Structure formats: structure tokens, C-alpha cells
Structure 1
Amino acid sequence: MSRPGIPGVRRWRSYINGPSTCASATSSTVALPGQNGSRRQSGDPALKVYSWNNRPKVNPEDYQFIAKENETLVKQPQAINGQQFIIERCRNCNIFLFDWCDTVTILDCTGCAIFVGPCKGSIFLRHCVDCTILVICQQFRTRDCRRLAAYLCCCTQPIIENTVGAKFACLQISYNGLEVTDQLKAAKLSPFNNNWSQVHDFTPNTDDILSSHNFSLIHDTLATAKVGLSDPESIGDVDLKANFDPCVSVIPYTMGVAPTNALHEDGEHCLVVIFAADYPQVSAVAFTKEIQNFHPSLILINSREISLSATDLQRILKTGVYADACKKGPVTILHYFGAEAIKICHKVSGSTVNQGSKQSAYVSNSKEFVQSQIENLWNLADMKMN
């Protein structure tokens, strides 16, 4: 039994496949839709041009390093511009991607040190051994890897699977173009959303998923500098002023999951909320640098950048003074710990953030409520980010 014809299908196939595939075609000219079967004349209106017709052609070889050995490989700013990048089968290489990417895949690499600038999506490593990875990303994942050292600024929880001997630390980095108004902004990432220490192991080797022996955390502000990649000969011909010194890092050092001995008895918790201005992250960076350089005894436990409603803010802070300020954009939340933390944060806020407006930042006023404020804000931030 023959299949019933569908009106218009045969004619549409003729347009797609060309006259050679159409049994009824007797001419080399194919009618285009909207031209009533006639050949387009010079006076006819031009066909509509869509945005994808004007996209520049992409050469995949410009966005990959494959089968390289004993080389220093560098991509300068504006060399990637949000494209996907692949690093595969490299041995004993120093690789630097000083630009923002969409996603990065790293496969079957051994003995490599790899730096990746802001990555809008995910960094995925598979079958990598004895590699050092320094990345700023939305998501970090590994599978079937051994002996990795990962220095991260990661917006979500790092995820490992069938991975052993991994070490994680907070990335410290600064270079021309990385600043919060440039590459980080293009990749829609914030240096204050860093979950480097919240590692999730899909294949833990203990019954308790929270005590997996497959990875460990490095709580050292100088961890990145000790990698030894600050030698200009390892970075390339263009001076990007790349620096792994925590004192100049765009990414603040956070303790994350703090070890017990880091929280001494005479310390106190302090909550700082910095509200949006023209460049809210710039104000927050200035605040954290001031603390880090002149009050190093204070520990930045965690930080977040989220949008808050006036209702949520009033419920948590027990004041409506900042209702209008939170409507201007995302706020930056900082959780400090140390001796006289509240007093010091008030002082630094007055010199770096609150010069023009008393509503530019909130700093805890009392030890009594700060713990509940921090807990409520972080619970809200986790819900918004997940």
C-alpha cells in the first residue's frame, strides 16, 4: 500500500535538496519561497539576512592544544573571546589561557600546569595525572584523575568522580584584563562566589561522604604563589603583569571550610554587606584588600554576591534602612572572624566604602545576632545559587 502524500512536502524537499533530487524538476533554477516560482530579478527586494549569516568563521585549531610536549603555550587576552577550548594529550607543558572561555575540556594530560581565565561554563578534566590546574569557573568537574592540585575560584561545588590524591586550594591571581569590569564581567562570574573548599565526591572511599580520603584542602594564603608559575619566562612574550601574590589578587582569599584551630577563642564573627554602587565589586575588592593588607589577623571565612529583596534583607538584618540600597543590584556579603572583627570592619568600611553614603555598607553592631544573621544569609544565598 502506497504512503499517502503530504501536501507541500515534495515541493519543500525540492527546495532543500536541489533540482537533481526532484523528479519533476526540468530546469536548473529552483524557485525560492515567496517568489511565486519565478526567477529573482535584479529589481526584486533582497532576501532577508539573519544574524547567524554574519557570524565570523571559526577555525577549531585556534581553540585547542593537542598532543603538545615540553612546551609553554599561551593564549593572550581577546584570543579566545568566549569560545570553547580543548586541551588534549599534552605532556609536561605549561599552558596559560589569559582570556575568558565558554567551556574547557582537558583530556589525557600528564605533568602539566594549566591556568584558565574566567570560564562561563564548566571545566571538565578526565584521565589527567600529576597536573596542576588553576581556574576561575562556574563549575569544576574531574573524572578518572590522579594526583591533581586544583587552585580554584569556583561558583558552585567542585565535583570529583573516580579521582584520588586531589588537593584543593583558593586561587590567588591578578593580570591585565581579569579585573571585575572586564573578563570576569564577560563570563558573568564574581570573585566573591567561590566554593573552592565545598568539594563533593561522587565516589568516596569511606562510608561518610563528608570525610572522603580522595581529596584534601590546603589552607594557605600563599598556596598559589608556591606553584612557581610567576616566572615571566613561563608566561610568554606579552607582559600581562600576571601575579599570584595574595596582596594584589582580584580574588580574595577565603578560608572556606575552616579547620578547628583557625577559630581561636578570643575571636568574634562579623557580617559585612556591601551594596551596589557604580561598580559594587570594586568597592568590595577595596574592602577585602584593606583588611588583608593592614589587618591580616582577620580571617575571611566566606563571601557571596547575590541579589536580595528588601523584605529578605529587613527580615535578616532587623532594619529597613537599607531597603532602597538593595534595589540597586546584587550585594556582596563577607563573613569575617578574628579579634575585634566588628570594630575593625566598621573602621575599614568608613575609609573604603561609606565615604559618600552611609547606606553603602552594613557592618554588624552586636555579637548577639551576628551568628544567626550569617546563617540566614548563607542559607538564602545557597538557595539562590542552586
Structure 2
Amino acid sequence: MEMETKVPVAPESSNHTDPSQQATDVDTVKLNSSSLASATFALRGQAQHYTVEGNGQAQHYTVEGNVCYRDKRRTVDLHDYTVEGIKDGEVWKMPGSVGGEQLLVQNCCNARIYVLDHINSVNMDNCTNCTVVFSAVRGSVFLRECKECVCLTACGQLRTRDCWKMNVFLLCATQPIIESSTSIHMGCYQLTYTGLEGHLQEAGLSCFNNNWSDVHDFTPVDGETNWCLLPFTVTVQDYMTVPSHRYCPVITQALSRHHTGTVPSYPVVLEPAHIDLSLAGDTSVVPYTWGPHKNPSGESCLVTLFCDSQQSQRPACLLLQTKEGLMGPADAERVFLSSSYNHFVGRGPVVGLYYDGPNCILSCQRVAVKVVVTDLTGLVYVSNSPAMARSQVDDFFRHAQLGLLC
């Protein structure tokens, strides 16, 4: 098949060739497999870029030396991934608008910024009294010189520096880190919308690997506390709101190369997006955990879900901590005190749930029976006694904390 294209051709040597014309002259040629090879050979020693158009599509190629290869890279406009200078406005980035790129947010005040897509990393600088949602971030969310903001994010790493009075609702795969920051309040991530589970997977995040409450302070001050956990009575909905209807509009700001940093005084609805956005805890993709810093009361119980590609119901007890990862046979024997589960841990990742509360073992067992009608040990393990459960919880999560459960 022949395809028409414009290929830069080096002009023949001439003592009176116009230099400007050398840079602009192009020849239109018909390309097929043989002519493409000829063009490649003729341009040996130079790097040339050209476009082949055919079948209604354009393919970008690079010729370097005697090698011709298709350029699959796409042009990235940094303005599309920058939110800057928003004052008293609202910005929405809908699914598919970021697509795993890096995002920069800076110099915003009294702004509401919702990014509902998977992101590579986020830098947020010098923002005041802003509400931000970064739904799924593969790498780090770095907050610098921000104050009086609310941040809801799932990320691989959270870092703050020179921040003050921040409320952060978090899913974090690693230990959150604060530095030179004060009045940092931590809560558990609570969010759902159509496509969130896919975005978390694309970002390499598990909803069960959440270290939101295990904060490390690089700059502690004697006699002072720079961070704390929010009370269990506090929810995300106490700090931010979303449209109450099922269709969430794309509002006020299209981030493009024409971005001016200004926001119109009226909402500009571009198109409705059916995403079922909710901050309710009972529908959240990420389970609400109280955190390991809560003093346990009553019984403890370890519930382990083996890989079966199914979801399970949650017992009506306090869920303190979760962890998902792979286990080896030796790990299973140490935790479960039996070799009966060695086969099941080889199926894939297991999920550990740490519950606490009066009669929680019985409650968990009842739910497990409803989930697994036939072979209980093939899918779910529940502690058998309070005495055994305490050591099992310690072994499982200590193993996970050391990174041996990965």
C-alpha cells in the first residue's frame, strides 16, 4: 500500500544555495516498503522526523542513521497538567484527563480542586484554604508551604514540608512523612466514584495497604505534638462537599494551552459525567480503619481472605488495620500455626483484617459462614480463640511492617 508523505530531503550541494531554503524545502513522495528503505539509506548520518499519513491516520517516524522507527511518544503540554493561580474557583479533572502524568498545583487560594484520575505524582505548593482531591497517585504527593487546606488522596507516599493546619484524609502505601509542619490532622481515605477501583490498580495501590495513621515526624519538638489522628466521629463530609446529583459537571476551568489562571464568575458546564461521586464511608472503595494507635478493648481477631477473585462482607466490629500481600508457606505456618493453609497462600495475595470489639471472633465467624457456604478454610480464616488471636495479629502485621509480607 502506498502512502503519501512529506519527507525532508537534504538539498544537493551547491555553492549558491539559499541557506534559508535548505531548512524549509521538502519533497512530496510516495512511500512503500522499498522507497522507505531507500529514504532511510539516503538520510544516513542524520536524524530526521517525518509523518506518514494513510488510512485516515498519521504515524510519526524518526530516521536516525540507517534505522527507521515509529515515534509513539505524544506531545505533552505542561499547561494541561498544571493548576495555578486559582482564586475562589473550582477545577475538575475527570477520568482520562491526566492519564498517569505528573500534576503541579501551586499558588491557589480558596479553591476546590478535584482530580478524579490516576496520576504519576503531585507537587502542591503555596496554597491556602484549598480543598483538593487526588484520587489515585502512584508516587508521592508532596505538600509544601500550604496552610489551612483539606486534602483527600490515595498515594504511594505522602510528604509535607513547611505546612500548617492541614486536614489530610489518606490512603498511603508507605509511612506518611511530615517535616517542619505543625497542626497536621490525619484521617482515613473515604471516596468512591465510577472507575476509582481501576484508577487505584493503574496507580499500583491496594485499598488494603493503608498506613494513614503511622506518621513519621522528621522534625519533632520536645513537649509538642505536630500531628494527631482525627476523632473517629469526624468524616470527610465534615470538611468537603460534592454535587449531590449523580452527574458531576466539568466546571469552570479547562486546563489547556490557553490556560490563563483566571476563573469566570459563573460556572461553565462543559458536559455531564456519570461518575456517582460519593464521600460516604459505607460506600467507600477503601475500608475505614481506626488505626493501630487506638487502644484495643475487648477481643482481637485476625481475619485472612485468601485469593478467590471475590469480595467479602465486613463484620460489624471495629476494623483497626488491613494489609494485602503475598505469603509463603513458612509465613502461613507461623501465623496460622498449621500447614493446612500452605496451598491457599500460593493462589495469590492474601488480605489480613484486624478487628477488635466484644465477641468479634463470633461475629467474624458468622459473616464468614455466610460468605463461604462450603469450604470455609479454602477462602477465609478466622481466629478461633482470643488467646490465639492476639499473637496471630502481632505476627501477621509485624511481618507486614517489616516488608516480608509484600
Specify if TM > 0.5: yes
Structure 1 residues 292-331: aligned runs within 5 Å: 295=316, 298-331=317-350
Partner of 2:381: 362
- Check the 8 A contact 2:173/2:205 in 1, yes or no: yes
Partner of 1:203: 219
- Check the 8 A contact 1:91/1:112 in 2, yes or no: yes
Partner of 2:49: none
Name the SS for the 1:100 alignment partner: strand
Pick aligned residue for 2:178 from 157, 160, 163? 160
Deviation, 1:366, is 1.4
Partner of 1:270: 301
Please state which structure has a larger fraction of its residues in helix. Answer: 1
Deviation, 1:46, is 7.7
May I ask how many residue pairs the two structures share in their alignment?
329
Equivalent residue letter for 2:69: V
Partner of 2:370: 351
Equivalent residue letter for 2:128: T
Pick aligned residue for 1:337 from 356, 360, 384? 356
Equivalent residue letter for 1:185: Q
Gaps of 5+ in 1: 1-17, 20-27, 29-33
Partner of 1:96: 114
Deviation, 1:140, is 0.4
CA spacing shift, 1:40–1:65, aligned 2, 3 Å: closer
Partner of 2:225: 213
- Check the 8 A contact 1:166/1:216 in 2, yes or no: yes
CA spacing shift, 1:46–1:318, aligned 2, 3 Å: same
Equivalent residue letter for 1:229: T
The superposition leaves residues 306-331 of structure 1 with CA deviations (integer Å, 9 ceiling, x where unpaired) of: 11001210122111111111111111
Deviation, 1:81, is 1.1
- Check the 8 A contact 1:221/1:253 in 2, yes or no: no
- Check the 8 A contact 1:140/1:158 in 2, yes or no: yes
CA spacing shift, 1:200–1:354, aligned 2, 3 Å: farther
Matched, 1:141 2:147: no
Pick aligned residue for 1:60 from 70, 78, 83? 78
Determine the C-alpha separation between the residues in 2 that align with 1:269 and 1:131. Answer: 36
Determine the C-alpha separation between the residues in 1 that align with 2:373 and 2:303. Answer: 12
TM-score, normalised relative to structure 1: 0.79
Partner of 2:147: 129
Pick aligned residue for 2:236 from 224, 228, 241? 224
Deviation, 1:356, is 6.3
Deviation, 1:257, is 3.2
CA spacing shift, 1:358–1:129, aligned 2, 3 Å: same
The superposition leaves residues 138-160 of structure 1 with CA deviations (integer Å, 9 ceiling, x where unpaired) of: 10000001111101011111111
Name the SS for the 2:69 alignment partner: coil
User: Percent of aligned pairs with the same residue?
Assistant: 30
Shift >6 Å, 4+ stretches: none
Name the SS for the 1:372 alignment partner: helix
Matched, 1:39 2:39: no
Deviates more, 1:74-83 or 1:221-230: 221-230
Pick aligned residue for 1:247 from 282, 286, 296? 282
- Check the 8 A contact 1:219/1:255 in 2, yes or no: no
- Check the 8 A contact 2:43/2:66 in 1, yes or no: no
Determine the C-alpha separation between the residues in 1 that align with 2:274 and 2:374. Answer: 35
Please state which structure has a larger fraction of its residues in strand. Answer: 2
Name the SS for the 1:287 alignment partner: coil
CA spacing shift, 1:155–1:40, aligned 2, 3 Å: closer
- Check the 8 A contact 2:213/2:293 in 1, yes or no: no
Deviates more, 1:145-154 or 1:239-248: 239-248
Gaps of 5+ in 2: 1-9, 12-21, 23-36, 45-64, 250-271
Deviation, 1:355, is 5.3
Determine the C-alpha separation between the residues in 1 that align with 2:166 and 2:219. Answer: 16
Equivalent residue letter for 1:268: E
TM-score, normalised relative to structure 2: 0.75
Partner of 2:263: none
Q: CA RMSD in A?
A: 2.7
